[in-house]
Chains A and B, each alone.
Chain A
Amino acid sequence: GENVEQHPSTLSVQEGDSAVIKCTYSDSASNYFPWYKQELGKGPQLIIDIRSNVGEKKDQRIAVTLNKTAKHFSLHITETQPEDSAVYFCAASGSSGYALNFGKGTSLLVTP
C-alpha cells in the first residue's frame, strides 16, 4: 500500500524564521496532497492542499511544492509565529479509493 514518509519529526524555530517540512510518497497514482495542522485537543485542520497537475501553491505565509517525478512534496511556512506551533501532517491520496495516507507528523515549536 501507499507509504508516506515525513521529516523531521520535530522542528524548533525562532519566531520570524521559516519552517520546512518534507514528505515522500510511494504510490505513483497519488494525485492529491493535503497538509493538516493539529493543535492539542483538536482534530486535524486542513491548511493547504495541492493536486498533481500543479507544482506549487501559496496561501499567505504557507506554501506547498510538489515534485511528482521525485515523489516528494514540502510545506513551507514563512515568518513563523508562536501560534504556528502544532503538529503538522502531510497526506497523499491512495489508489484504492478516497482514503488518505498520512505521514507520522512533525511537531513544530515556534519560540518567541
Chain B
Amino acid sequence: KAGVTQTPRYLIKTRGQQVTLSCSPISGHRSVSWYQQTPGQGLQFLFEYFSETQRNKGNFPGRFSGRQFSNSRSEMNVSTLELGDSALYLCASSLDAARNREKLFFGSGTQLSVL
C-alpha cells in the first residue's frame, strides 16, 4: 500500500511569491492534515480537511489556505511568501474511523525555502 505522497520534494521561492503544495493520502484515507515544521517552533498544525471541508484550522494567517478534492487529494497554498515561511510542510492522512481518527501517517514533506 503506497504511503502519503507529497510533491514537490523541494521548492525555492522569493519573497512575495505564492506557492502550492500537493498531497495524496493513503488509499482509503479521507482525512488530510497539514503541519509546518521548523527548528524553532517544531511541528505546528495548519489545518485539517475531510470530505472537501475544512474541519479545523490552526493559528496561522490567512495567507495559508488549503483545499481537498473529491478523491481526498489535498493542496495547500501560501500567498505573499515571507522569509519566515521557510519550513518543512508535512501532510498527514488518517482513516477518520471513530477509534483511529487521530492516528496520523505522514508524508516526507515539502521543503520550502523563501529567499
How many B residues have CB within 8 A of the partner chain?
26
Contact: A101 with B106, CB < 8 Å?
Answer: no
Closest to A42 in B: B108
Closest to B94 in A: A98
A-B contact count (CB 8 A): 58
Residue among A1, A44, A45, A103 with most chain B CB within 10 A = A44
Contact: B105 with A98, CB < 8 Å?
Answer: no
Within 8 Å by CB of A99, from B4, B33, B105, B109, lies B33
Contact: A98 with B4, CB < 8 Å?
Answer: no
Question: Which B residues between 60 and 115 are near A, CB-CB below 8 angstroms?
Answer: 90, 92, 94, 96, 101-109
Contact: A46 with B102, CB < 8 Å?
Answer: no
The interface size bin for chain A is 20 to 34
Contact: B104 with A46, CB < 8 Å?
Answer: yes
Contact: B42 with A34, CB < 8 Å?
Answer: no
Q: How far is it, in angstroms, between the C-alpha of A63 and the C-alpha of B42 when the chains are bound?
A: 24
Contact: B33 with A98, CB < 8 Å?
Answer: yes
Residues of B within 8 A of A (CB): 4, 31, 33, 35, 42-45, 48, 55-56, 58-59, 90, 92, 94, 96, 101-109
Pairs across A and B, CB under 8 Å, 25 listed: A1-B59, A34-B103, A36-B106, A41-B108, A42-B108, A43-B106, A43-B108, A43-B109, A44-B106, A45-B106, A46-B105, A93-B102, A96-B56, A97-B48, A98-B31, A98-B33, A98-B56, A98-B94, A98-B101, A99-B48, A100-B43, A100-B102, A102-B35, A102-B42, A103-B42
